Structure 1
């Protein structure tokens, strides 16, 4: 159905043409799911953009051929390409929140898409839209179709994106990281849906992802890319079971196993080199001279968090929404506790309560020997503001894009009054970059000049500069490919063991949680379903919910 031969894409620049992808050849049959894997920057999304005709200017297809059935995609005029795009080739993007129009009801977006590609009445388009929503598993579709995107959960919004891709009966759908931000339960539902559609409608799929477990679960064929080149391609069983290229083997080795715990993650390439050990030693001494070496645990007892309900009637008092109910557990001094659960289970609410961003309605939180007060009583000078630091999921949005790295890293030193001299603040910031595996030269650059893994290292450095004793890591690697994930998690392990940090590690990737955690807490609907040592929870789970989560986690099988 789709044939791509010798595809080469270049981007002109003042220093000459930059080759983004070179001599890529692949094909997709009707009803086939073709997986496209590789690290960030490998060229996966560029392949998809070239096929559907959405290359960002000034990029252009320099060589090669692309055909969809009997249609030569390179010979289409702009008008013909516009009519084909969305009609015969559709795309499912990574983030449904930004891909759906927040000001339009789902009904209007589906109808608009159908009427843009065929002569159909609004009544007929609406009836077809309801049928498609029912087909992809949205209950009460005739009622839910009138909702706005924000009234759906993340998994439901992803289903709406799939409905938008299906509503024109395409031959090919390109799914670009469709499950990256989803928990294992919702991810499993979306993947089952894609597999079912490929079989029932004979739609070809190109599945772009960095999750090799997902590829192993549903892909019929897989192609491995690196630095814009296709290294290996073939049936999934053959490529993953008996890889021919060393890079494919290294990628497989970097996937954390679910059935056992490793001392360190395998990294498929050399970790970032540093300019020397002197600056790293300076950062280590500076941390150890402060309070970072004091191991501080956290004890949570009967924590409850309620949010006020939404008033739907002038005469009816809104009922509060309970986000956390009677949550009790402990993060041991110098230990790592993993927190897992589906989206909406209360994981991030718990992190916000610990940091004082959300006020609990009941219960106590004890950090070391001090009871943490409500957020309203924690001013900027309260000790917990410095002692407890957080590493967020998206380092790009958590780093100020208008400030240089030096200013971003120096801020905690100035804010907490740790270093009064500006030059000394800059020197310590450069030393901390060295400690986390970055070049000190990065101090004069901006966040957009770094890759995702490098930005996450900068976020770790910023958290450490406050001399914390307790770190909250909220999905710190969910958007990173397996090799960068391995580097960041090895870094966190090293820092935790060297400086005695206590860590609350929040993630929906159960395999990562097993590798990182001493203890595990499983949340569901704001309540603890199971808690205990990591090996016990993973090897001998007691609750049905924990068993279901483990069974839904995609793993790379032994072929």
Structure 2
């Protein structure tokens, strides 16, 4: 009798199967999944891209993209089935009782509306309050998720916020409705450790104080270790292991779970190579062979020796660099408002080294990268490249080929209408690095082989590749100009640990083979420790500390650096 009267779980998924019918065959995305989440519990759902994690979240919300459908099983909320509800009934539950934090905050926000309008509209949709009260509540929510000067920022648009701040706004939107169940789909993917710690602490407080259940979808095992009560591990649409967090982390039973945990970058010691997830098909294949003396890339002047050499002379020098953006335009100079993203920034990157640049979201890391790449024109200071001034059109034209950038989001940085071979060939043709079309095609084929995609990949379009494969295309395109200086702006932040290991090992190999100088921007401190020779720490547009990697991790000097290391998630 006791069992019968027991309170049902907040969420119960029973034998769920989600499929996508096609013209030739039906693709099964999720099969025979059974999960439970109780009030106040955080269930971590981990697995590789394509494992079906986000599909489960979409199925719970009733947001499966057509022609996707629930073929078998049931989804229950507080004991009541919701997967068979009509559109109007589901709309009443969605947002009010179940809310979702999406992975990409920019696509979750309307670019035409201010942040304040989006928050107040959400509040008034679900609660009967005045416009003034809704605004006060919205400001309080922004302050709660850690956005400073909330009253002023209410009147700004999503594009005026950094990635981490946009994610905080999305979480504030979720809090507007005080939901029973929160589905957090990779909520900390693009966040630095300080913001990530705040967001994870906020999620834990929501579960504890509001008795809300949380489904935390992530590929970051460190986040799981810090946050989740229980963990479910998915592989190819099925749950292969479920258990308490400590049991999964320290004593996993399934081979896939063991591989996932083994591939997490070490935070306590520096290794030569990133561990591979050998359980995943293709992830354990050997690196391509490369001979710097005979390969086209090695004939461009950047590769002096197959042995890695770090020289004392700087390749890049930034002196009192400043970057100012106008936030309020006016014909009257005194009424104009400015934001200094980078101020008095002085740093050099030595020839042949990998310099890491870390700091919280909005600290100015990406702004520095874009100034170096010529995408922004600095407002103050100067940049020297190989002893010569980089300012002005002449300087950019002279050194543009030698400075290339790998962006955080490989999909938005690739032209979706161009084939991969044309994308990679474009800079080769622009800089006249090959005498004819046949030579260009040979170079493109060699580059695709070098990054591990194979020559056949050139005939496809970017949307036909996974995130990790698209990042390899971006690397091949960046290498196509035979650069000396490579800027990597969060190149693996959205990738699974196994794909991340492949990409980072590839970058390590390229750096050693070609003697490249690299600026490596990341919020993932364990990755930075493995990749970099020195680390520079930024905050509020200024430089806090620069030190050798091991010295910074073992004996940080600045208080902000100490705080970053303290907040770093650990298994």
- Distance, in Å, in 2 between the alignment partners of 1:394 and 1:448 is 13
- The superposition leaves residues 492-546 of structure 1 with CA deviations (integer Å, 9 ceiling, x where unpaired) of 0011111111111111111111100011111222222111211001111111111
Task: Note if contact 2:47-2:234 (Cα within 8 Å) is conserved in structure 1.
Answer: yes
- Tell me, yes or no, if the aligned pair for 1:303 and 1:360 is still in contact at 8 Å: no
Residues 1:285 and 1:123: Cα distance change in structure 2 (over 3 Å): closer
Which residue of 62, 83, 96 corresponds with 2:92? Answer: 83
Please state how far the C-alpha of 1:143 moved relative to its aligned partner: 6.6
Task: Please report how far the alpha carbon of residue 281 of structure 1 lies from its aligned counterpart in structure 2 after TM superposition.
Answer: 6.2
Alignment match, 2:402: 387
Does the Cα contact within 8 Å between 1:356 and 1:378 map onto a contact in 2?
Answer: no
- Partner of 2:368 in structure 1? 350
Show the counterpart of 2:299.
289
Alpha-carbon distance in 2 for matches of 1:105, 1:258: 39
d(CA) in 2 for partners of 1:497, 1:446: 30
1:70 shift after superposition:
2.5
2:319 equivalent in structure 1: 302
- Cα-to-partner distance string for 1:319-362 (whole Å, 9 max, x where unaligned): 75443334333322222111111222222222223223333455
CA distance in 1, matches of 2:21, 2:34: 23
SS of the aligned residue for 2:343 comes to strand
Residues 324, 379 of structure 2: 8 Å contact kept: no
Q: Is 2:278 the counterpart of 1:248? A: no
The answer on whether the counterparts of 1:389 and 1:470 sit within 8 Å (CA) in structure 2 is yes
The corresponding residue for 1:237 is: 246
Q: Is 1:47 the equivalent of 2:56?
A: yes
Q: 1:273–1:438: 8 Å Cα contact kept in structure 2?
A: no
TM-score (norm 2): 0.90
Secondary structure, aligned partner of 1:55: coil
* 1:327 pairs with one of 345, 349, 354: 345
Aligned equivalent of 1:26, options 18, 26, 35: 35
Specify the SS of the correspondent of 1:396. coil
Per-residue CA deviation, residues 390-427 of structure 1 (Å, 9 max, x unaligned), is: 11111111111111011111112211111121022112
SS state at 2:483 partner: coil
Question: Matched residue pairs, number?
Answer: 552
Give SS of 1:316's match: helix
What are structure 1's unaligned runs of at least 5 residues? none
Aligned to 1:398, the other structure's residue is in SS state coil
Cross-structure match for 2:440:
425
CA contact (8 A) 2:292 2:513 kept: no
Instruction: Please give the secondary structure, in 1, of the residue aligned with 2:54.
Output: helix
Matches within 5 A, 1:189-208: 189-208=198-217
Contact 1:303–1:324 at 8 Å: present in 2 too?
Answer: no
**What does residue 502 of structure 2 align with?**
487
Alpha-carbon offset, residue 387 of structure 1: 1.3
> Which moved further from structure 2: 418-427 or 198-207?
418-427
CA distance in 1, matches of 2:287, 2:44: 40
**Partner residue, 1:464:** 479
Q: Does 2:531 correspond to 1:516?
A: yes
Aligned to 1:396: 411
1:414 alignment partner in structure 2: 429
State how far apart, in whole Å, the 1-side matches of 2:554 and 2:362 are. 25
Higher mean alpha-carbon deviation, 230-239 vs 285-294, is at 285-294
SS at 2:219's partner residue?
coil
Q: CA deviation at 1:273?
A: 8.3
Q: Distance in 2 between matches of 1:244 and 1:275?
A: 27
1:449 corresponding residue in structure 2 = 464
Give the drift of 1:152: 4.8
Could you say if the C-alpha distance between residues 246 and 142 of structure 1 is closer, same or farther in structure 2, counting changes exceeding 3 Å?
Answer: same
Bigger Cα displacement from structure 2, 39-48 vs 334-343: 334-343
Q: Cα 1:262–1:110, aligned 2, differ >3 Å: closer, same or farther?
A: same
Over the aligned positions, Cα root-mean-square deviation in angstroms equals 2.6
Paired residues of 1:306 and 1:320 also in contact (CA < 8 A): no
1:428-483 per-residue CA deviation (whole Å, 9 max, x = no partner) reads 10111111111210111101100011111111111112111111111111111111
2:393 aligns with one of 352, 364, 376 = 376
Match of 2:334, SS state, is: coil
Over residues 70-91 of structure 1, what are the superposed CA-to-partner deviations in whole Å (9 max), with x where a residue is unaligned? 3101331222112111121111
Any conservation in 2 of the 1:272–1:437 contact (CA below 8 Å)? no
Q: Which residue of 2 aligns with 1:162?
A: 171
Aligned residue among 220, 223, 235 for 1:226: 235
Q: Within the alignment, does 1:473 sit opposite 2:488 as a pair?
A: yes
* 8-17 or 157-166: bigger deviation: 157-166
The separation in 1 between residues aligned to 2:380 and 2:96, in whole angstroms, is: 54
**Which of 9, 21, 39 matches 1:12?**
21
User: Does the 8 Å contact 1:433/1:440 carry over to 2?
Assistant: yes
Structure 1, 147-156 or 513-522: larger mean CA deviation = 147-156
User: Structure 1 length as normaliser, TM-score?
Assistant: 0.92
Q: Shift in Å at residue 268 of structure 1?
A: 0.6
CA distance in 1, matches of 2:427, 2:373: 16
Specify the SS of the correspondent of 2:246: helix
CA shift in 2, pair 1:314/1:459, >3 Å:
same
